[in-house]
Structure 1
Amino acid sequence: MGAMSRSAFTTHTAHVNDVDLAYTDEGQGAPLVLLHGHAYDRSMWDGQVKAFSEQGWRVIAPDLRGFGESEVTPGIVYTEEFVADVIALLDELQVQRAVLLGFSMAGQVAMQLVESHPERVSALIINDTVPQAEDAAGRRRRHVAADGIVSGGMDAYGESALPKMIWEDNVQRLPEVAKTVLEMIQASPLEGATAAMRGRAERNDFVETLKNFDKPALVIAGDNDAFDGGAAQRMAELLPHGELAVITNCGHTPNMENPEEFDAALGTFLGKLS
């Protein structure tokens, strides 16, 4: 297993696809699955686990393979493998359909899951991500980044990534949040982080997936997300039933930078589903 638990919630473990996956499972009601981003872990969702389990949802938040307390697979882990793990975990938990929320890298995992297992998703929420596959330059950047993690370690990677993960103003304004995010990245297993980074280089393109997703969908983005460049707006327009929520005064990680506004936007969307 990976690192010590960073989540405030009980750690459950499931053995799926030859790896041990750690996960949070709180509350009773319709299932809401929260998937964390690259070099994060499920503890990023602790605020939402608390808020939405109290609002009558069963909130399931796994540590993806190679992250948090889940087992590390060295080499390359492809988006499809993360999807297979999530599906196997849902099977284990006897969850037929869930509302699915994917953040950043896991936004792409969520889109791949919708592509390959549409019947398992009752509604889709994608948070600070992009649907396009990488071009040659993008693939090269991912592999260079992975090489940099190997040579420099997670401490250096965390320091360099932090101003992109949190709006730079908030690194100053919200020092506790910045510290939590930095420590989460730095605690991430190096082999897991590089395996996922290399796998992301080869991910599929999800533009058609979004166009064909005929269920409720919400796109959430921070108003100062360093990676967005208009992607959130375009994704909301691609989705037949897409809505857009832009969270103010935050960067790439709005659920931690501005949780009140994030939870309100998510809660409004979820409220319309029941």
Structure 2
Amino acid sequence: MDTFITGQIAIAYDDHNPEGAGPPLVLVHGHPFDRSMWAPQVEHVGRDGHRVIVPDLRGYGHSTVVPGKTPLQTFAQDIAGLLDHLDVAEVVLGGLSMGGQIVMEFHRLFPDRLRGLVLADTAPQAETEEGRRVRSATADRLLREGMGGYADEVLAKMVAPANIRRFPAVAEHVLGMMRRTSPEGAAAALRGRAERPDYMASLARVRVPTLIVVGSDDEFTPVGDARLMHEVIPGSTLVVIEDTAHMPNLERPAEFNVALSKFLDSIPQMR
């Protein structure tokens, strides 16, 4: 693990295979997880010879916990700062769930730094009034009660119930990430995410190859959200991974990795 300092914030990250060919792949974790959620992809893509960079977002994992409210713009700027620190000009940027929304925000702010996008189990719409109310109430609950009860309740939506039984190690990994997350960091992200803009117009301006992946049984960001992005983003590729919920990269890593490798191999090494 390495650390990048931005202001008073330390961002933990791993930089795998830094001499790898092609544009680096940067993977952004979702809420309430950490960079370890990408372990199967780091191993697989690294074997293919690609450089892979995986940060812990501020408030998560080994990065500095920042209470209050953290908007998506701040997360995106942290990633841009990390790339500057590593002297990386252009990347393929991927994210799952909240991580996918951070990818959309990064595209809105820094489109010229992108060679490709990976949007997994995420949604482009602005938060609804009901969604803002729920996120605010959840943030209050996490600060009051901690992460344990919340983690237990949402596990069966993060990982399909059949996969919890079939792959107990995956379920334990997901549950462990959620339980280890700082309530203050998670609450800050929830409050910031509640204020996210609508990304539909900016997604229509995407001019780089884009892979959209979604679990067939995802309740948080259903297949309909993925199809909506697929219709809006010119030339995008949509992959639906069957019998998975919100985390197909962990529930069915082989299928996810095949789609990811095929996509990365389609991106020219030079531009």
Give the conservation status (yes or no) of the 8 Å contact 1:128–1:252: yes
Q: Deviations over 1:133-160 (max 9, x none)?
A: 1121111111011112122211111101
1:183-202 to structure 2, matched below 5 A, reads: 183-202=176-195
1:85 is matched with which residue: 55, 78, 82? 78
Residue matched to 1:228? 221
Mapping of residues 1-274 of structure 1, within 5 Å: 11-27=1-17, 28-29=20-21, 30-229=23-222, 230-274=224-268
Q: Secondary structure in 1 aligned to 2:266?
A: helix
Moved over 4 A (4+): none
Aligned pairs, number:
264
Quote the Cα distance in structure 1 between the aligned partners of 2:217 and 2:161: 9
Which AA in structure 2 matches 1:233? R
For residues 97-142 of structure 1, give each alpha carbon's deviation from its aligned partner in whole angstroms, at most 9, with x where no partner exists: 0000011001110000001100011111100000001121111111
Q: Is the 8 A contact 1:115 1:209 kept in 2?
A: yes
TM-score, L = length of structure 1: 0.94
SS state at 1:137 partner: helix
Distance in 1 of aligned mates of 2:34 and 2:53: 13
Structure 1 spans left out of the alignment, 5+ residues? 1-10
- Deviation track 1:239-261 (CA, whole Å, cap 9, x = no partner) reads 01211011122110011000000
- Aligned 8 A contact 1:17 1:88 in 2: no
- Equivalent position amino acid for 1:16 in 2: T
Deviates more, 1:224-233 or 1:94-103: 224-233
In structure 2, stretches of 5+ residues that fail to align are none
Which residue identity is paired with 1:170?
N
- Looking at structure 2, the residues matched to 55 and 247 of structure 1 have their Cα atoms a distance apart, in angstroms, of 22
Give me the whole-angstrom Cα distance separating, in 1, the residues matched to 2:77 and 2:231: 28
| Mapped partners of 1:186, 1:34: distance in 2 | 21
Backbone CA RMSD of aligned residues: 0.9
Amino acid at match of 1:96: A
What is the aligned-residue identity percentage?
Answer: 43
Matched to 1:21, the amino acid is I
The AA in structure 2 aligned to 1:87 is A
Opposite residue 121 of structure 2, the aligned amino acid is D
SS in 2 for 1:204: coil
